[in-house]
Amino acid sequence: MTPLPPAPGLDPQSQWQRFCSLLWHDTGMGVWLDVSRMGLDSAGLEAMRPKFDQALAAMDALEQGAIANPDEQRQVGHYWLRAPQLAPDPASAGHIQAEVDRIEAFGREVLSGAIAPAPGQRFTDVLWIGIGGSGLGPLLMIRALQDPGSGLPFHFFDNVDPDGMRRTLASLGERLRTTLVIVVSKSGGTPEPHIGMLQARRAVESAGGQWIRQAVAVTMLGSRLDQEAEQGDWLARFDMFDWVGGRTSITSAVGLLPGVLIGSDIRAFLKGAAAMDAATRDHDLFNNPAALLAASWYQAGGGRGQRDMVVLPYRDRLEVFSRYLQQLVMESLGKKLDRNGQVVHQGLAVYGNKGSTDQHAYVQQLRDGVDNFFVTFIEVLEDPGDIPPLEGENPGDFLDGFLQGTRSALTEEGRHNLSITLQRLDATSLGALIALFERAVGLYGELVNVNAYHQPGVEAGKKAAAALLDLQARLEQAMADQQEHTLADLQQRMGLESPESLYWILRHLCANRRHIDARGDWGNPETLVFKHD
């Protein structure tokens, strides 16, 4: 990979001219984008125009209802969620708008006490059960938009870690009787939210709560979860459309329902996303911020993802944003095959936390170490008005100074970086920020000729996990004869090429005292002997 230093070799006036030519700003949204320090210039962007003509045409077709995920014969319609009039048919447009209205009305009635867990009570908490985008999207909404004392406090089952579940349930305690439990699963059959739902229901009912007055489902119409919620007369059901993927579901019920339950303005959130969508449809590359973003990624990484994306938002409220982008970017772009079936191993790794914390963590390596990354700075200009300067020191000034100082230090060493600036951080600007990255990911996927809307690797992992759980069940059944077995005996009995998977399963079962004893040395697997007690 040939380094393309963004500043060294350019005199200050030339750098200023490059900055002016590659700076995008929208006054209405209050958003700036500067990609002038990414090894990209006007001539390089012009040279990419043929690729972008194809990419933008593909995005136009996607919004018009083309099949974007041929693996599942699915459309990709998250853009319609914030502009229902763009949906390919009037019925879909009406359905989208009706769901937004229902979500808003439900949230307001929960907060007002009109919807309650029992007469004379009010909901005090929300337990959100979702995995992947169904967990990260809501978490981002809450961390970024919830003000102290506004709406309901949220708790999460976003994993199947029993210790995490135990701690969450313990923190709720008696308030489980007044906790709104929201279960999110698009297909209705994903194991993690189903397991979380079972544990939550047991805990709610053990605490004296009423599941049917506290449980809400967010899923596709007609799914296993939808049927269970309908037959069980749950409190509410909201649609998670077939044409919305988990990593782009934040402007669906997945993000809107928590948004209204924390007292945020979900209409403003959708408005911000719609405004950015409109800006990123522009076929003039210099006026399209998503095209500028995708072009800078492509240029910096040689079109092969040879530089990682380090995300540094300089606001605590955006601390979760790097985790959110990990799924959006890496699940979309990390592909073995391109659209022609050729092995390409594409991708773009994402990591980060927040500034200025990370200046005291890994910025040392970013400036002086291996040059295999670019930094995405995110700043917010307006500070909260209730944190005054003390002893002449203003925290916001220092935060801005640290950002500009780190940016300058990296540029001096020829390290690639770009900057996104928000006038203020609110529901509108968060919607715009998310929509900017969604479109940039779609455009970049077209530039490198991969399908950004399927996830065969994720599905492969799910299938492998299911196979191992099936093997565990068969293993426990085979050992019920209470005879002693070595790993070699069990390998032959189970018809496996290697005993390694059995070793992992048995270690877990023995550690949890699941009716299997072991003697021997776990560090020397061939000495181990197992028996069902």
d(CA 433, CA 419): 12
Number of C-beta neighbours around residue 480 at 10 A: 10
| The residue type at 494 | M
Handedness of CA 471, 476, 479, 481 (dihedral sign): negative
Instruction: Say whether the peptide bond before residue 356 is cis (omega within 30 degrees of 0).
Output: yes
Q: Residue 95 burial by CB count (10 A; 0-12/13-18/19+): exposed, middle or buried?
A: middle
DSSP state for residue 426 in the 8-state scheme: S
d(CA 219, CA 301): 38
**Active-site residue (options: 283, 345, 360, 508):** 360
Active-site residue, 331 included: yes
Give every CB contact of residue 312 below 8 A, 6+ residues apart in sequence: 352, 353, 354, 355, 358, 375, 376, 377, 378, 403, 406
**Active-site residue (options: 63, 228, 331, 446):** 331
DSSP state for residue 146 in the 8-state scheme: P
d(CA 358, CA 351): 11
d(CA 348, CA 371): 15
d(CA 294, CA 311): 15
| The residue type at 46 | E
Enumerate the H helices of 113-244 as residue ranges. Answer: 133-145, 162-172, 191-206, 211-214, 224-231
- Could you identify the residue written with the tokens 């002997």? 529
Q: Residue 350 burial by CB count (10 A; 0-12/13-18/19+): exposed, middle or buried?
A: buried
| The residue type at 207 | A
Backbone φ and ψ for 338, nearest 5 degrees, come out as -90, -175
The CA–CA distances, whole Å, from 313 to 37, 80, 124, 274, 397 equal 17, 28, 31, 23, 15
Handedness of CA 375, 378, 383, 384 (dihedral sign): negative
**Active-site residue (options: 194, 205, 319, 462):** 462
Active-site residue, 462 included: yes
Active-site residue, 155 included: no
Token digits of residue 153: 């406090």
The CA–CA distances, whole Å, from 44 to 225, 252, 286, 287, 472 equal 50, 37, 12, 15, 55
Q: Residue 361 burial by CB count (10 A; 0-12/13-18/19+): exposed, middle or buried?
A: exposed
Q: Is 201:224 a contact under the CB 8 Å cutoff?
A: no
DSSP state for residue 525 in the 8-state scheme: G
Q: Which residues are catalytic?
A: 331, 360, 462
